Amino acid sequence: MTKTAKGAVIGRLQSAARLSRTSLATRLLSLGLYAGQDQIMLALASEDGQTPSQLATKLGVRPPTITKTINRLMAQGFLEKRASDQDARQAHVFLTETGQEAIRAIEKSVRRTEKQALKGLDKKEQKALAKLLRRVETNLSQNGEEQLPDESEAEEEAA
């Protein structure tokens, strides 16, 4: 195995993530959507009628961020809020007909971005990349649990 410069892998990962977000954001802008709004719309497409706090938890963002984005999507006609049948103090968010129609275009934009990103990779390479990225996500989602020693600690232990 060849030795890579420190941070080379994470730098490439960050660059690829940034470029994929930019490419998708450009496609979404043509639909009248801004980066991040698609995630709320897709979450509601899979389970309509969630509360803002449920959406915030599912998407890993703070409730004020979700509230601001929901309000923008409501102003654009993609979402609507309705009072809960069980608790009138609680609101649930739903896709409007316009929002439901936009889902197909969002999914198409995601597919096109993925196709662009994976251009030149055969199916086996795509499957391997997906598997490796899942492992990276798992490692990073452990938030410090079972952290590996950094290289200097490992070198000291080996000496």
Q: Which candidate, 13, 16, 38, places its Cα nearest to that of 26? A: 38
Residue 155 lies in a domain: no
Q: How confident is the model at residue 143 (pLDDT cuts 50, 70, 90)?
A: low
**Prediction pTM value:** 0.75
Q: Between residues 86 and 73, which one has the greater pLDDT? A: 73
Domain count, the chain: 1
Residue 5 scores a pLDDT above 80: no
Q: Between residues 82 and 7, which one has the greater pLDDT? A: 82
Span 60-75, average pLDDT: 94
- Looking at residue 144, what is its pLDDT? 52
DSSP letter for 54, please.
H
Residue 76 lies in a domain: yes
Residue 69 scores a pLDDT above 60: yes
Q: Mean pLDDT across the chain, nearest whole number?
A: 87
**Model confidence over 77-88: pLDDT tens digits?**
999 999 988 887
- Looking at residue 151, what is its pLDDT? 44
Residue 49 lies in a domain: yes
Residue 148 scores a pLDDT above 90: no
Distance CA 53, CA 101 (A): 24
Range of the domain at 104: 17-138
Domain of residue 84, CATH code? 1.10.10.10
- Looking at residue 154, what is its pLDDT? 45
Q: List C-alpha distances in Å: 22 to 58, 112, 115, 117, 118.
A: 22, 13, 15, 12, 15
Q: List C-alpha distances in Å: 116 to 8, 39, 56.
A: 23, 20, 29
